[in-house]
């Protein structure tokens, strides 16, 4: 069984697409090991990725998965325009992917998982002859998609929003039951429930977790840190941890700034995010994939909107009572962050309500459910093909 992923990363695109695909890939391998019913459960995983500036393709190379590099295009990538994120046309990208697949001479691709905002049905139709089935991971619901499976882990996503965008036969995996999290988060959930209750009584000794996404191109981490520094002058027992990527262009500046504060720890390329979230009391972070990780561990959050696709996520999280929405990153300032933090620190009841609402939003088992749906989809296809051969259908 061969499952391939098409996703990209960079300091502009961010790292979330690759990270959630890696999470799903590991879940698929784990599912296959649990099954072990036939040779079909043995899985080969491949990643098709562009060689964009400051990517995290090295994380794929550290696994047993194959990395098929796609040449970087000549067009400029614009942060707020996801249509530019291929750095070339969809047709050019499709041909590059087809070439990479053919050169590798791997098993036929049973299902190709596409996690890319710049790709739509035009690309899908070009690549479909080279895979048995195609799956799309999306959270925009804004373009036509030619796929057999669609995953959108947005909280409270309405199936009607995809009705005119996908084929009638497409299986929809929508909402909180399909949030892609690594096992480490669900494993710490019970411990987090006990810990949040205890820590709610000591909010003036809170540990803040600042995590603005892989690239953090606008250096929102610095704004958050300066806001906490302002509060720290009144509440000296506060502390902070900043999580950044080694690929962030602001890494050195943040390192110099954080070194001024003995109560602040800067962590690069965090390998134990679940533990960091467990040990934190309040988070300040982007409304991307890590939002579901924070919910799983009941971590109240001040969220920022860093891109268009994060608007609905931030809105739904706020309406569900898990987060305080700070709004668009361009409008963010130290005073606004400080004001919201000060209010939350003085209100244990609101804090605990946010904790409980967060736990309700995500159980942390979504990756396993998605992996099972993919394997079942492939098995149905195999059964159909076998039946067709037996009946002499060409």
Same domain flag for 357 and 372? no
Question: Average per-residue pLDDT in the chain?
Answer: 92
pLDDT surpasses 50 at 388:
no
Do 211 and 288 belong to one domain? yes
Contact present, 323 and 354 (Cβ < 8 Å): yes
Are 259 and 300 found together in one domain? yes
Q: Are residues 380 and 292 in the same domain?
A: no
Length of the chain: 394
Check which CATH number belongs to the domain holding 18 and give it. Answer: 3.40.50.11190
With a cut of 70, say whether residue 383 has pLDDT above it: no
Of 42, 46, 44, 66, the C-alpha closest to 4 is: 46
Residues 210 and 61 in one domain: no
Residue-wise pLDDT for 285-334, tens only, equals 998 889 999 999 999 999 999 877 789 999 999 999 999 999 998 889 99
The residue-averaged pLDDT of 5-9 equals: 97
Which secondary structure element, helix H or strand E, spans residue 239, and what is its range? strand 239-244
Do residues 147 and 8 both lie within one domain?
A: yes
- Give the whole-angstrom CA distance, residue 90 versus residue 124: 9
Supply the range of the domain harboring residue 42: 2-181+364-390
Residues 169 and 213 both lie in one domain: no
Provide mean pLDDT across the span 209-235: 92
Q: Does residue 385 share a domain with residue 336?
A: no
Other Cβ atoms closer than 10 A to 124: 21
* Rounded percentage of the chain residues whose pLDDT exceeds 70: 95
Number of structural domains found in the chain: 2
Q: Are residues 128 and 64 in the same domain?
A: yes
* Strands 282-286, 264-268: pairing kind: unpaired
Same domain, 110 and 221: no
Query: Which residue shows structure tokens 């796609």?
Result: 70
- In this predicted structure, the answer to whether residue 280 has a pLDDT above a threshold of 60 is yes
Task: Judge if 245 and 379 occupy the same domain.
Answer: no
* pLDDT, position 389: 46
Q: In whole angstroms, what is the distance from residue 295 CA to residue 365 CA?
A: 12
Q: What is the CATH number for 221?
A: 3.40.50.2000
**Nearest C-alpha neighbor of 166 from the set 191, 185, 200, 140:** 140
Nearest CA among 134, 106, 105 for reference residue 6:
134
Give helix then strand counts, H and E, for the chain: 14, 13
Q: Which residue has the tokens 């109240």?
A: 300
Residue 382 has pLDDT above 80, yes or no: no
Note the pLDDT of residue 394.
Answer: 41
**24 shares its domain with 173:** yes
* Strand pairing report for 66-70 and 44-50: parallel
**pLDDT tens, position by position, 133-143:** 999 999 999 99
């Amino acid at each position: 069984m061969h499952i391939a992923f098409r996703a990209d990363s960079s300091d502009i695109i961010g790292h979330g697409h690759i990270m959630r695909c890696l999470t799903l890939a590991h879940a698929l391998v784990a599912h296959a090991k649990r099954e072990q019913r036939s040779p079909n459960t043995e899985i080969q995983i491949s990643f098709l990725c562009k060689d964009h500036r400051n990517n995290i393709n090295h994380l794929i190379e550290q696994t047993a998965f194959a990395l098929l590099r796609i040449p970087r295009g000549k067009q400029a990538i614009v942060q707020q325009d996801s249509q530019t994120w291929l750095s070339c046309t969809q047709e050019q990208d499709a041909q590059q992917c087809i070439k990479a697949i053919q050169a590798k001479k791997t098993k036929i691709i049973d299902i190709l998982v596409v996690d890319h905002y710049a790709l739509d049905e035009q690309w899908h139709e070009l690549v479909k002859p080279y895979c048995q089935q195609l799956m799309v991971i999306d959270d925009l619901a804004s373009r036509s998609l030619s796929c057999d499976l669609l995953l959108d882990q947005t909280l409270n996503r309405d199936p009607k929003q995809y009705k005119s965008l996908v084929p009638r036969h497409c299986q929809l995996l929508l909402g909180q039951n399909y949030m892609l999290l690594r096992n480490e988060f669900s494993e710490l959930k019970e411990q987090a429930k006990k810990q949040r209750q205890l820590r709610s009584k000591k909010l003036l000794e809170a540990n803040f977790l600042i995590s603005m996404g892989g690239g953090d191109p606008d250096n929102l981490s610095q704004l958050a840190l300066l806001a906490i520094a302002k509060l720290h002058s009144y509440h000296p027992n506060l502390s902070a941890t900043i999580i950044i990527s080694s690929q962030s262009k602001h890494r050195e500046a943040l390192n110099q700034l954080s070194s001024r504060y003995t109560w602040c720890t800067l962590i690069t390329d965090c390998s134990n995010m679940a533990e960091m979230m467990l040990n934190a009391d309040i988070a300040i972070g982007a409304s991307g994939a890590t939002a579901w990780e924070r919910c799983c561990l009941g971590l109240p959050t001040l969220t920022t909107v860093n891109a268009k696709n994060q608007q609905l996520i931030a809105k739904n999280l706020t309406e569900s009572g898990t987060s305080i929405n700070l709004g668009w990153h361009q409008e963010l300032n130290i005073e606004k962050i400080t004001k919201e933090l000060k209010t939350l620190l003085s209100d244990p009841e609101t804090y605990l309500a946010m904790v409980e609402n967060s736990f309700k939003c995500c159980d942390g088992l979504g990756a396993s459910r998605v992996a099972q749906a993919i394997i079942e989809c492939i098995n149905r296809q195999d059964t159909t093909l076998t039946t067709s051969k037996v009946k002499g259908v060409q």
